[in-house]
Amino acid sequence: MNQPPRVRFAPSPTGALHIGGARTALYNWLFARGSGGTLILRIEDTDRERSTAENVAQIIDALRWLELDWDEGPLSQADGAERHRARIRELVEAGRAYPDPATSEEVKAWKQAHGSAGYRGQPEDRPGAAIRLRVPDEGETVVDDLIRGQVRFENRLTDDLVIARGDGTPLYNFAVAADDAEMQVTDVIRGDDHLSNTPKQLLVLEALGAPPPRYAHLPLLHGPDGKKLSKRHGAASVQELRERGYLPAAIRNYLALLGWGTDDDTTILSTPELVSRFSIERVGRAAAIFDERKLRWLNGRFMRELSPDEYVEAAAAQLAREGHADAAADRERLREVCAIAQEKAQTLAELWPLIGFVFQPPAEDDRAWAKVMKPQVAAYLDAALAVLRSAQPFDAPTLERELTAVVEDLGAKPRDVYQPLRVAITGTTISPGIFDSLAVLGRDQAVARTEAALARLGAQPTTS
């Protein structure tokens, strides 16, 4: 009976979880969840100088926010150092590895004398000697990759692999392979920047007498300019995407499609659909393009599909992150304003500029005032003010009917009346629909702000 798949997501905690790492985590999660397998979270923290507890916490926070859970872990690779040392001693005793006291300068000189041949050391058990794994002089180490096909590496060109430093500390490629064997990992899904490490890890696994896992090396992510994805292309980490107001479900959908696609080119996929349809064999070899504009469009689609309760909770979390705790706590008011903004915002970060006017005084946007509030608009605002004072009830349908009549009576264009009114109540030229905005703001504030705008224009309302 075949063993259920066991996969691992193994980030190095030397920084925040970047977008490429998030896609790797997602692909491992989809593979495990779709196959009834096990996902292990293993923190590869052998780089003790750069690995920090804060970075580990950031990675876990990002995964939890993306709603990517795991079955085992988080496990620290550094915690297995003694186990790794024991396995290295076994390899030395078996003659599969040996101590080599050569300095880096001596190794460099050897390689200069022997051309492209891989370095072969001379065993000598001296204090401070590094431990090297013996690499065969002939043959090939073949990576049978599920995405790239067979990739061959000539053994004669490969150095005897350093698996432990002179102080006995196990090195990365040994620790990774030893842990994969210990944890019975069946499938390794990771970025193809690790492809050059794979033959080394295969040699370690062979020396340990462990079966190799299946490998799938994912194409790297590029920006729209075709260059390797970096901060110049926009958000670089999961936390930055969260701050910019993207939804976890939209990110999962978008990242899944970076390199993989369905056979019918479906673009909008729920997470259960991703789980049921994902196949590592359909991942392409070409670099995938991360374009935040496309993510933003997709996020807008997901936001419009949220239920009112889901939308309010997502909005509240975003407002709290942005420092608008009072607005986030006023759920009843927030529900009212979210209802009129849901069709307009494409990210949660776009909400506050749209709805902030309800919770605080109008924004101080001098450019908006200079553009819209010309002296001649005073007559339009004055006529609109009369409606704001008298409309019964003070709701969007009534306001729309009576303000439309004002526009017709003045022989004006709708924007001639509505845009000054928008600037008067919000301070900006952008808001949800003007009738909805007025209704949610309420009569008292709508009247007071319009009166204040008229006063700033140097005009006095003709009615009171």
Q: Check if 227 is active-site.
A: no
pLDDT under 50 in the chain at which residues?
Answer: 1
Give pLDDT, residue 116. 85
Give pLDDT, residue 462. 64
Residues in contact with 225: Cβ distance below 8 Å, sequence separation at least 6, in sequence order:
233
Give pLDDT, residue 5. 97
Give pLDDT, residue 460. 67
- With the C-alpha atoms ordered 439, 441, 442, 445, is the resulting torsion angle positive or negative? negative
The CA-atom distances, in angstroms, between 231 and each of 19, 123, 144, 340 are 10, 46, 33, 34
The answer to whether the beta carbons of residues 431 and 357 sit under 8 Å apart is yes
Give pLDDT, residue 1. 46
The residue with tokens 């009369």 is 386
The answer to whether the beta carbons of residues 63 and 192 sit under 8 Å apart is no
Give the Cβ contact number of residue 162 at 10 Å.
20
| 157: DSSP letter | G
pLDDT tens column, 399-452: 999 999 999 999 999 999 999 999 999 999 999 999 999 999 999 999 999 999
H-type alpha helices, 281-330: 292-305, 308-321, 325-329
Give pLDDT, residue 226. 84
Catalytic option among 108, 227, 228, 231: 231
Exposed / middle / buried, residue 313 (Cβ in 10 Å: 0-12, 13-18, 19+): middle
Give pLDDT, residue 233. 65
User: 18 in helix, strand or coil?
Assistant: strand
Give pLDDT, residue 232. 66
The answer to whether the beta carbons of residues 153 and 197 sit under 8 Å apart is no
